[in-house]
Structure formats: structure tokens, C-alpha cells
Structure 1
Amino acid sequence: MARRSFLQWPVLRQFRSGDVLGRGPAVTSPHTRALEPRTATADRVVQSICPYCAVGCGQKVYVSGEKVVQIEGDADSPISRGRLCPKGSASEQLVNAPGRQYQVRYRPPHGTQWQSLDRDTAIDMIADRFLETRRRTWQDTDESGSPLRRTWGVASLGGATLDNEENYLIKKLFTAAGAVQIENQARI
């Protein structure tokens, strides 16, 4: 390891360079000056909304090729004014997580192994089960003949990674289907 001269001490560098407050070149090393921000490698910047809660903070998503390289707060957003909470700041990990699934996984009843399904098959299975359960548990009227038009057999638990628009549409869909138990993870 090379010995450093006392002339390289940061306080002496401050006074020698005229950077008395220590906010300029006196406090940066050659290594620090050589660093390049991740945003410099991006091909394009896409404006988005944070997926985690109902606040709707603005994000700038930096993309290089087809890979998200950085996510920062959008200073033009009237909601967040460039700030993100810890979850919003870490949302790049949601996109680039090594364990992220890119196909539909299904484990049949009493099965011990997961299997892959194509999307159309999975959607058809969900729709068939939804409609059958709704038909089987539908309550049109109560004992006195008052209209109910509901089902207790279908419920919805929305996720915190859905944005406001997605949660709004899910609420409308399940309400129109007669579901009474509609909740969101953010409220639990």
C-alpha cells in the first residue's frame, strides 16, 4: 500500500485549493471524479407512476435497451415533486428481481409441483371458476323478497403494487359481479 503524504489530507487540500467550505474539488477523490451515474447509460427516460400505493408519485424510469437501469422521483410531478419513499425508490428491484416470474405458474389441487401454463389457458380457468362460483352462490333476494343481487362466494383482495386505475377497475368489476367483500392490501 502506497504511503500518503500529509499534504494530501482533506483539510490541507481544502485550504490549498481555495475550497474553504469543503464542498468542491477538495473533498472528491480521483476515483469519485471518475464515477459515472447509472442514468448516463440510459437510452431513454420514461415517465411513470410508482406502483406501490394510492398516492401516485411520479417516477422517471431510465431504460437502457430493454432493461430498467434506474428509477428516480419526477420533479415535474405535482404530487411528489421529485421525492420517493423507500419503497418507491426501490421499485427498480421489482422490475429487475432475479426471482421474478415471467410465465403463469399453476399447482393443481392436491398437487406437489408447480407447472407452467400459457396465459390463455390460465385466463380461461380463472373465468370458468369465477362464473361457476358466482352462479352457485348467487343471492337474488332475501326471505322477504327484498332484492340483494349479491354473492358471498367471490371476494377480491387487491395488491399494493397496483396503481389507482387498476384498483379502480378491479373495484368496478367485482362490484358489478355482485361481490360484497372487496378489500385492498394497503388498508389491511
Structure 2
Amino acid sequence: MARLTFLDWPVIRQLRGADPTGRGTAVTSATTRDIVPRTVTADGVADSICPYCAVGCGQRVFHKDGRVIQIEGNPDSPVSRGRLCPKGAASQQLANSYLRQTKVRYRRPYATQWEDLELDVAMDMIADRFIEARRAHWEDEDEQGRPLKRAMGIASLGGATIDNEENYLIKKFFTAAGAIQIENQARI
């Protein structure tokens, strides 16, 4: 690294150069000039929707080598016109966090350790428990013979990272199954 001289100081560069207000080339260092945006090195970009709330802000997801490297607001989106809230702007962390679980984890009753399960096995376990709870807690009619057709042993609590379409399908599914306790984290 070259040693800086008195003439290399930013204030001196500002006063000597064509940028006396200090808003352009006078205040940029060689390191700053060498920086390249992550989006330039991306293999591709995909349009997406922010997963956090029901607004549906448009996102541009830049990826390289099969990994998300940057997420920005999509200026072509009629909803957000290229803007994202702080949570949406940080949604890259949702995809890239080292804490993100990528396997199905299960802790058996009374066990002290978690174990990995295959996705098919976990889905079958959930389906079996859902069907059994529906069967065991089904109420066809009340004491006066009025039809109820509900399952009181099933409830749903959706998360804030589920978009509108997924929430719509979950609501339809649980309603068709007879559940009446259907809620979303965003409303609590």
C-alpha cells in the first residue's frame, strides 16, 4: 500500500480538483472506485414477491452459483414501485441464514434429542395425526339435533412469512376439514 502524502488528503483533493463541494470524485478513494456491486456479478435475476406481509411488494432476487446474493425492490411492481420495508429488504437473510433449518427435525415424546426425518415420513406422520384428531373430535350435530359438522380437535396458526395465496389455501383446507379455530400470526 502506497504511503499517503499531504496532497492525497481528501480536503486537499477537494479544494484542488473540479469538485469543490466534496460530493463526487474528491471524496472517493481508490478502494471505493474499485468496488463492484453484487448485482453485476450475478448469474441471473428472478422476479418474486416479498414473503412477509399481505402487501405483496415486488422483489428482484439476484443469484449466483445457486445462492441468493442480493434482494432489491422491483421498480416494475405496481404495488411497491421498487421500494421495500426494512424487513423485506433484509429478506436475503431468510434464504441465507446459517440458522435456517433445511431438514425435518423431530423429537419423540419424552426424548431429549432431536432426530432427522425424511420428508415423506414426516408428511405421513402429520397426515395420520390430522386424520385421527379430526375423527376423534368430530361433532356432527349439537344436543338439539342442529347440524354442526366441525372438528374441535384441529386448529391452525399461520405464520407471517406465508403469503396471501398460501393463507387462502390453508383457510380453505382447514374449513373443508371442519376446523373453526383458524388464525394467523399477523393478526395476533
The answer on 1:179 being equivalent to 2:142 is no
Q: State the alpha-carbon separation in 2 of the partners of residues 2 and 37 from structure 1.
A: 25
- The AA in structure 2 aligned to 1:64 is K
> Which residue of structure 2 lines up, in the alignment, with residue 105 of structure 1?
105
Q: What number of residue pairs does the alignment pair up?
A: 188
Question: Structure 2: which 5+ runs fail to align?
Answer: none
How far the C-alpha of 1:2 sits from its partner, in A, is 7.3
Structure 2 length as normaliser, TM-score?
Answer: 0.94
- The AA in structure 2 aligned to 1:173 is F
- Structure 1 runs (4+) deviating above 3 angstroms are 1-6
> Which residue of structure 2 lines up, in the alignment, with residue 47 of structure 1?
47
Question: Structure 1: which 5+ runs fail to align?
Answer: none
> Which residue of structure 2 lines up, in the alignment, with residue 169 of structure 1?
169
- Secondary structure, counterpart of 2:152 in structure 1: strand
Q: State the alpha-carbon separation in 2 of the partners of residues 60 and 106 from structure 1.
A: 35
Q: State the alpha-carbon separation in 2 of the partners of residues 49 and 55 from structure 1.
A: 9
Structure 1 length as normaliser, TM-score?
Answer: 0.94
- Secondary structure, counterpart of 1:94 in structure 2: helix
Matches within 5 A, 1:1-188: 4-188=4-188
Q: State the alpha-carbon separation in 1 of the partners of residues 44 and 99 from structure 2.
A: 26
How far the C-alpha of 1:117 sits from its partner, in A, is 1.0
Q: State the alpha-carbon separation in 2 of the partners of residues 126 and 49 from structure 1.
A: 28
Q: State the alpha-carbon separation in 2 of the partners of residues 2 and 111 from structure 1.
A: 62
Q: State the alpha-carbon separation in 2 of the partners of residues 15 and 78 from structure 1.
A: 45
Q: State the alpha-carbon separation in 2 of the partners of residues 70 and 126 from structure 1.
A: 35
CA deviations 1:36-80 (Å, max 9, x no partner) are 111122100001011111111111100002111111111111111
How far the C-alpha of 1:5 sits from its partner, in A, is 3.8
Q: State the alpha-carbon separation in 1 of the partners of residues 25 and 167 from structure 2.
A: 49
Q: State the alpha-carbon separation in 1 of the partners of residues 47 and 147 from structure 2.
A: 46
